[in-house]
Amino acid sequence: MKVILVNGSPRPQGNTYISLQEVAKQFNEEGIETEIFQIGTDINPCRSCNSCHKTKKCAFNPKVNEFVEKAKEADGFIFGSPVYYASLASGMKCFMDTTFYSNSEVFALKPAASVIVARRAGTTSAFDEMNKYFTISRMFVVSSRYWNNAFGTQPGEVSQDEEGMYNMRLLAKNMAYLIKCQKAGEQLGIEKPDLKERKITNFIR
């Protein structure tokens, strides 16, 4: 069993990374392998070229393609982002757009959760924004006991947010439980729900 934690911060060792580390440590205690995937700073926006619908690869983001290959073998995901201007970091937004637009089927029926880190405000709006990628992709959105927020400005300050760190650990426990239940269900032969033909409507037709 493995969970990939995506660090959407341009600062590889900042407060988002520290928060994800807290989640990862708890996963490891639950017997689940983890990997923190750093998206870096060279992420291009989705251009709606639609080439990925033929190739299943993003023509402009090798980092996205690298992640998707890893995601195929993963059992769950944590996506972390800092807050800039009351929203996701721009690099993370581009990463999420291109990842889920090109390969949403890779993530179907797998659990996911978002972790948001801020100095003060904007966490809930960024949290809502992130979760929409999961719900459109048929993922199971895992909760903690509060919104998965943590607060800090300078690197390391987030560790002083006791409630935030508690929520990181509980988030890992809850997702670990779900993953183990899924694995037990597979062993019992419980079938996954079928994806029937999707009906897509357009407001102008």
pLDDT at position 195? 75
pLDDT at position 201? 87
With 0-12 CB in 10 A as exposed, 13-18 as middle and 19+ as buried, what is 166?
A: middle
pTM exceeds 0.85, yes or no = yes
What lies within 8 Å, CB to CB, of 153 at 6+ separation is 15, 119
| Average pLDDT value for residue range 10-16 | 95
* Helix 62-71 × helix 90-103 angle, to 10°: 60
CB 26 within 8 A of CB 174: no
Among candidate residues 28, 15, 98, the one with its CA nearest the CA of residue 62: 98
| Average pLDDT value for residue range 14-24 | 98
Q: Express each pLDDT in 105-161 by its tens digit.
A: 999 999 999 999 999 999 999 999 999 999 999 999 999 999 999 999 999 999 999
| Average pLDDT value for residue range 6-14 | 95
How does residue 194 score in pLDDT terms, banded at 50, 70 and 90? confident
The SS3 call for residue 36 is: strand
- Other C-beta atoms closer than 10 Å to the C-beta of 70 total 14
CA-based Rg of the chain, rounded to a whole angstrom? Answer: 17
pLDDT at position 205? 64
Q: Express each pLDDT in 37-76 by its tens digit.
A: 999 999 999 999 999 999 999 999 999 999 999 999 999 9
How does residue 77 score in pLDDT terms, banded at 50, 70 and 90? very high
pLDDT at position 202? 87
pLDDT at position 204? 78
pLDDT at position 178? 98
CB 46 within 8 A of CB 97: yes
Ranges of H-type helices in 42-109: 52-55, 62-71, 90-103
Q: Express each pLDDT in 95-110 by its tens digit.
A: 999 999 999 999 999 9
